[in-house]
Amino acid sequence: MTSPTSAAGRQPHSLWVRVVLAGGIALIVAGLFGLGIWQLERRVEKLALIARVDARVHADPVAAPGPADWPHVTVANDEYLRVRASGHFLNDKETLTQAVTEAGAGSWVMTPLVTDQGFTVLVNRGFVPEDRRDPASRVQGEIAGEVTVTGLLRMSEPRGGFLRTDDPAGNHWYSRDVAEIAVARGLANTAPYFIDADATPNPGGLPIGGLTVIRFPNNHLVYALTWFALGIGLAWATVYAWRK
């Protein structure tokens, strides 16, 4: 049988444990609410990014940045900027990189364009299916002479494909790595970006341009509500358990 004295002696200890647990849970709840607020802030940033990109994509094209501007070209300021460049293609130095598009599996045709300003820029002229990789199968699309390209400025993709690394020696390419392609093709004075050509039809129908995918996942509101719900649920459960 427990004496009243021993029970009273344990009571302060039990209260202290409950206070410590409640304090720890309060910190967790505060953390969950902090995550929810952070997701709301991320949502504001993402909506601003989407608005900026949408404005760039639908703006009138500007001249592709030249060498003097290359140090200042960034993802934040220039990705998906609508640009225009004139010059002539080096069709014999095109590079095919792996592509999966709404048109199926195949390759992007990355062709150097020597611009009238004297620098070279890689142009993603568009998509070709696997059975049309050979330039001989799409001779009409190998444009000679002066051309003007309009499209979206894209930053180099130097990390290779998912679980696959570019193999310049074997001519197997899984990413649009501007620097590595320039070295492999012996290109000089090459822009650090490439241009995704627009949907202007090419002779013979290939390559197919205008397939740039612009998609920014924006699930931040769902994540925020989830964190807030977890915080409220934990707080309610703690109060309920304390009262019991």
Report the chain's mean pLDDT, rounded to a whole number: 89
Fold held by 81-205: OB fold (Dihydrolipoamide Acetyltransferase, E2P) (2.40.50)
Q: What single DSSP character describes residue 208?
A: B
pLDDT higher at 162 or 140? 140
pLDDT score of 3 more than 60: no
Share of the chain above pLDDT 70, in %: 93
Q: 3, 210, 195: which is closest to 81 by C-alpha?
A: 195
Between the two ends of the chain, the Cα-to-Cα distance in Å is 25
Give pLDDT, residue 160.
Answer: 66
Residues 17-72 pLDDT 10s: 777 887 888 899 899 999 999 999 999 988 888 888 898 999 999 999 999 999 99
Q: Which residue has the higher pLDDT, 103 or 68?
A: 68
**Quick one: which of 57, 67, 64 has its CA closest to 86?**
64
pTM: 0.79
Mean pLDDT to the nearest integer, 109-114: 98
Domain ranges of the chain: 4-52+219-243, 81-205
Residue with structure tokens 């995550």? 35
Asked whether residue 7 carries a pLDDT value surpassing 90, the answer given is: no
Angstrom CA distances, 227 to 34, 39, 59, 124, stand at: 8, 9, 38, 42
Q: Is 46 helix (H, G, I), strand (E, B) or coil?
A: helix
- pLDDT confidence of residue 10: 52
